């Protein structure tokens, strides 16, 4: 997996380097709703310094930035995961792809 591809998906939210749930799901090769479902079932593993749930205002800014409309794309508030949160995802997602993606992501954060 290309380091530059991952680095382009790292955004600063509330002063933290994060990656969005939809980008992570794409990298892992799963649907965003499956990733979010796994997180919600294990919400105790994701304190506020591991995962940020975007506010409605942040979400609206994100929708404008990425061009998502009310007719398609993201419809629910997104999660933004810090490096620690992404590492925690590896305890939930056990596929070989998820393992390799997590290793690449850990190398991409600086």
Pick the CATH number of 3-108 from 3.10.260, 1.10.1660, 3.40.50, 3.30.410: 3.10.260
Provide mean pLDDT across the span 60-66.
Answer: 73
Per the model's pLDDT, the better-predicted residue between 56 and 68 turns out to be 56
Residue entry with tokens 């993606």: 101
Per the model's pLDDT, the better-predicted residue between 70 and 76 turns out to be 76
Q: Residue 71 pLDDT > 90, yes or no? A: no
Q: What is the pTM of this model?
A: 0.83
Collapsed DSSP state (helix, strand, coil) of residue 45: helix
Residue 91 token pair: 């305890």
First vs last C-alpha separation in the chain: 17
Q: Of 82, 107, 86, nearest to 16 (Cα)? A: 82
pLDDT band for position 44 (50/70/90)? very high
Q: What integer best gives the mean pLDDT of the chain?
A: 86
Q: Residue 65 pLDDT > 50, yes or no? A: yes
CA angle 31, 36, 40 (to 5 degrees): 150
**Burial zone of 90 (CB within 10 Å; 0-12 exposed, 13-18 middle, 19+ buried):** middle
């Amino acid at each position: 997996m290309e380091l530059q591809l991952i680095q382009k998906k790292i955004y600063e939210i509330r002063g933290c380097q994060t990656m969005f749930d939809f980008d992570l799901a794409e990298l892992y090769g799963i649907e965003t709703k499956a990733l979010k479902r796994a997180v919600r079932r294990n919400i105790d593993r994701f304190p506020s310094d591991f995962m940020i749930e975007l506010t409605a205002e942040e979400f609206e800014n994100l929708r404008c930035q990425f061009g998502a409309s009310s007719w398609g794309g993201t419809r629910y508030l997104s999660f933004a995961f810090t490096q620690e949160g992404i590492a925690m995802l590896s305890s939930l997602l056990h596929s070989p792809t998820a393992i390799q993606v997590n290793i690449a992501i850990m190398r991409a954060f600086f």
